[in-house]
Amino acid sequence: MNIPQQKVPRVVIVGCGFGGLQLAKSLKNAPVQVVLIDKNNYHTFQPLLYQVATAGLEADSIAYPIRKIFKGQTNFHFRWGEVQQIVADKNLLRTTVGDLPYDYLIIATGTTTNYFGNTAIEQHAMPMKSVTEALNLRSMILQNFEQALLSDNIKEQEALMTFAVVGGGPTGVELAGALCELKKHVLPNDYPELDFRKMRVLLIESGPEVLQAMSAPNQQKARTYLEELGCEVWLNTKVAGYDGSIVNFQDGKSLHTKNLLWAAGIKGVTIPGLNADALNNRGRYVIDEYCRVKRYENIYALGDVAAMSSEKFPNGHPQVAPVAIQMAELVARNIQKLLKQQTPDKFEYFDKGAMATVGRNRAVVEAFNIRFGGFAGWFVWMALHLMLLVGFRNKIVVFINWLWNYINYDRNIRLIIRPYQKA
C-alpha cells in the first residue's frame, strides 16, 4: 500500500464509525502517523438512518466524506478498501488495496445485523444498518404502495400495506413511530385511492417490554406513545421464520406481510487472523481495561465490536456511540502515554443516559437520574443529534428538513431513485 514512510509510529484504524472517527481526531497533534481504512469513503450518522428509510432525510444529510472531515490534519491518511486478515506476528494487515504494516492497530469495525442463524429471515427480511440498506428500505416501502394500487386482491393489498418491525430497541421503536406518522400524515395524500385503514404497523418484541435498557416508567411511556400513533405492540413474541409473505411465530401465530423490517439484533464485524479466544460468544473482541484485545499488546478494539467485562457490565458495555467515543479518547491518550513510557489509564465509562424518539413531540429521555418525555424529550433528542452530526452543512440541512416537516406534516423525499429488487 502506497503510504509515505515516516520516522514515527504508525497507528492504523479500521472503521470510521463514532469510535474510529474520534480516535483519529484525538491523535491530531500526536507524534504518530494515522492511517484509517474503511470500506466506505464517508462517515455515517447511524442514529438517523431510520429517517432516510422513511423519507424524512436524504442520505447525504447523514453522511460526510472522510477526507473532508480530516482536511488539514497533516498526520492523517485515508485508504478506501476492506481489511481481509490480520497477521499479528508480522504487525501487518492484508487488505483489498494492499498490505499495510502497523505499530498500533485499532479495530473499530462496528456491527452488522444479526439474524441468529435463521437463513430464511436473512434472505427475506429488510435490515437497516447502512445508508445503502436505508435507501433500499425507502424504495421498498414506496414500491409496495405502488404495487398495492395495481392489485385488486384485498389480502395482497393488506400484505403490501402491513409493516412488521422486529426488535423493540431504540431503532425499532423509532422506525415504527416514523412509519405510523407516514400513515397518519403523508401517504394518504399520495395514494388517495387506497384505504389506509388496511395499513398496519406492528412492533414485535421477544421480551416483556420495549426499550429494555431504560427504566420501567419510560418503557411504558414509549409503549403508550406508539399505541397513540396507531402502532400494534406485540410483546413476548418471537419470530420463528419468514418466507417473504408469511411471518411465523414460535407460539404458532402467523402474519401475512410483504414487509418484515429486522431490528432485532446485532453482531460484531470481525476480522480473521486473531486467536479464537480473542472473541466472545456474541461476536465481540474481548478487551482488557485498557481496550487491548486479549493476548495482544498493540491491538486494540473499541465501540460496538469490543466487550470489556466488569462488575457493572459483565457482558460488555452498551453498544452505543458514547461508549465508542469515550474508548477512543482513552486509547488516543494511552498511545501517547506509552510513547512517553508513562503508565496508561484504565477505562471507566461515564454513562450520560439514554433516549429514543417515538415521533413528533414524543420522546423518552434518561439522563443523570432524571427522566422526562413528551415535547421536552423530543426537543432534547433533536438538539443532541444536531450537535453530534458531522459537518456544518449537514446540521443546517437536517434542521431545515425537520423544521419543514414539523410545520407541514410532510416528508418530501419520497423518491424511488434506485428501485429495490430482492435477491
Q: Which of 234, 215, 346, 250 is nearest to 290 (CA)?
A: 346
Taking the C-alpha atoms of residue 19 and residue 329, their distance in angstroms, rounded to an integer, is 9
Residue 284 and residue 158 share a domain: no
- φ, ψ at 377 (rounded to 5°): -65, -40
Q: Which residues of 136-169 are buried (b: 16+ CB within 10 A; e: fewer)?
A: bbbbbbbbbbeebeeeeeeebbbbbbbbbbbbbb
Q: Would you say residue 49 lies in a domain?
A: no
Residue 275 and residue 229 share a domain: no
For residue 245, the 8-state DSSP code is S
Residue 206 and residue 128 share a domain: yes
Taking the C-alpha atoms of residue 10 and residue 91, their distance in angstroms, rounded to an integer, is 11
Compute, in degrees rounded to 10, the torsion defined by CA atoms 207, 212, 216, 217. Answer: -120
Residue 324 and residue 232 share a domain: no
More confident residue, 26 or 408: 26
Q: Would you say residue 54 lies in a domain?
A: no
For residue 396, what pLDDT is reported? 95
- Among 183-197, 315-329, 401-415, the range scoring the smallest mean pLDDT is 401-415
- Catalytic residue ranges: 174
Residue 259 and residue 136 share a domain: yes
For residue 44, what pLDDT is reported? 96
> How many folded domains does the chain comprise?
2
Average pLDDT of the residues in 128-154: 95
Average pLDDT of the residues in 237-253: 96
- Would you place residue 5 in the very low, low, confident or very high pLDDT band (cuts 50, 70, 90)? confident
Residue 188 and residue 131 share a domain: yes
Q: Would you say residue 372 lies in a domain?
A: no
Q: Which of 7, 20, 14, 21 is nearest to 86 (CA)?
A: 14
> What's the distance, CA 406 to chain centroid?
24
Tens of pLDDT, residues 284-332: 999 999 999 999 999 999 999 999 998 889 989 999 999 999 999 999 9
For residue 51, what pLDDT is reported? 95
For residue 336, what pLDDT is reported? 97
Tens of pLDDT, residues 271-290: 999 999 999 988 899 999 99
All cell numbers assigned to 167: 426488535
CA distances from 258 to 140, 141, 156, 231, 379 (A): 10, 10, 9, 17, 34
- Would you place residue 408 in the very low, low, confident or very high pLDDT band (cuts 50, 70, 90)? confident
All cell numbers assigned to 330: 482513552
Average pLDDT, the chain: 94
194 has pLDDT over 70 = yes
Residue 182 and residue 157 share a domain: yes
CATH number at residue 23: 3.50.50.60
Tens of pLDDT, residues 43-69: 999 999 999 999 999 999 999 999 999
Residue 305 and residue 242 share a domain: no
Q: Would you say residue 214 lies in a domain?
A: yes
Residue 249 and residue 214 share a domain: yes
CA distances from 417 to 103, 186, 398 (A): 44, 19, 20
- In the chain, count H helices and then E strands: 12, 24
Q: Would you say residue 367 lies in a domain?
A: no
Among the three residues 206, 237, 264, which one is the final residue of a domain in this structure? 264
All cell numbers assigned to 82: 476492506
Region at 158 (left for phi over 0; alpha for psi -120 to 50; beta for the rest):
alpha
E strand map for 306-390? 306-307, 354-357, 363-367, 370-373
E strand map for 263-329? 266-268, 285-286, 299-301, 306-307
412 has pLDDT over 80 = no
Residue 320 and residue 239 share a domain: no
CATH number at residue 183: 3.50.50.100
Placement of cell 473482541 in the chain = 285
**What pTM does this model have?**
0.93
Residue 228 and residue 104 share a domain: no
Q: Would you say residue 313 lies in a domain?
A: yes
Average pLDDT of the residues in 118-145: 95
Average pLDDT of the residues in 169-179: 96
Among the three residues 316, 339, 362, which one is the final residue of a domain in this structure? 339
For residue 282, what pLDDT is reported? 83
- Would you place residue 102 in the very low, low, confident or very high pLDDT band (cuts 50, 70, 90)? very high
372 has pLDDT over 70 = yes
Residue 22 and residue 150 share a domain: no
Alpha helices in 61-130 (DSSP H): 66-69, 119-124
Q: Would you say residue 5 lies in a domain?
A: no
CA distances from 267 to 64, 130, 172, 281 (A): 25, 14, 16, 10
Range of the domain at 88: 10-39+81-113+267-339
423 has pLDDT over 70 = no
For residue 135, what pLDDT is reported? 96
All cell numbers assigned to 81: 478498501
- φ, ψ at 329 (rounded to 5°): -65, -40
Among the three residues 319, 339, 359, which one is the final residue of a domain in this structure? 339
User: In terms of DSSP bridges, do strands 259-262 and 162-166 run parallel, antiparallel, or are they unpaired?
Assistant: parallel
Give the number of other CB atoms < 10 A from CB of residue 103.
Answer: 15
Tens of pLDDT, residues 392-402: 999 999 999 99
- Would you place residue 369 in the very low, low, confident or very high pLDDT band (cuts 50, 70, 90)? confident
Q: Would you say residue 62 lies in a domain?
A: no
For residue 98, what pLDDT is reported? 95
